[in-house]
Amino acid sequence: MDHLLKVGVVEKIMNNYMKTKILIICTGNTCRSQMAEGFLRFFDSELEVFSAGTKAEKVVNPYAVKVMAEKGIDISKQKPKSLDIFIDKYFDYVITVCDGAKEICPVFTGDVKHKLHIGFDDPADAKGTDEEKLIVYRKVRDLIENSFKEFLMKL
C-alpha cells in the first residue's frame, strides 16, 4: 500500500512538471493547423505544440504566413508534416481543425487524453484578387485566434 501511495505521488508530481502536449490536425497542414500552432506557441511558450496533415503538402500557405505576420507571429519557418510521424505518440489534446481531417482522423496507437474538433472554413477556397483572398484569410485567422484563446482558458 505504501508503495502505491508513493507511485501516485510521483505520478502527480511528474504530471505537474510535464508540459501539455497538443497536436493540431488538418488535411494539408498548410494553413489552419499552422496558424493554430503559431497562436498556441505565441500564447503559451510552455506548451508543446505540433501540427500535422492527413495529406501533408510541401509548403505553408503564403497567405497564412502573411496574415499571421500581421499579428506579429512568424510561421514562415514552420513546415507541413505528415500525421504518420505522430501516430504512436502521447498527446494531452489532439485537435482537428477541418472537417476532412475529423472524418479520416486515424486511431492513435499512442496515449491521447482528449480528442476535440474546432472546425474552420478553408481560406484556401477563397476566390478573387489577392486583397479579397487576404480578407478571407484574416477572418479565418481571427476565428482561430479567438477559438484557441477560449480553448486555453479552459485548460
- Residues 84 and 104: beta-carbon distance below 8 Å: no
Grid cell at residue 133: 483572398
Res 87 pLDDT > 70: yes
Sheet strands (E) in the chain: 21-26, 48-53, 91-96, 112-117
Give the dihedral sign, CA 127/145/30/115. Answer: negative
* pLDDT above 70 (res 8): no
Percentage of residues of the chain with pLDDT beyond 70:
82
Q: Taking the model in full, what pTM does it have?
A: 0.85
- How much is the pLDDT for 102? 54
- By annotation, the residues acting in catalysis are 26, 98, 105
The domains located in the chain, with CATH, are 19-153 (3.40.50.2300)
Across 16-25, 46-55, 93-102, the highest mean pLDDT is recorded for 46-55
pLDDT at 12 over 60: no
| Rg of the Cα atoms in the chain | 17
As a whole number, the mean pLDDT across the chain is 87
Q: Are 47 and 121 in contact (CB under 8 A)?
A: no
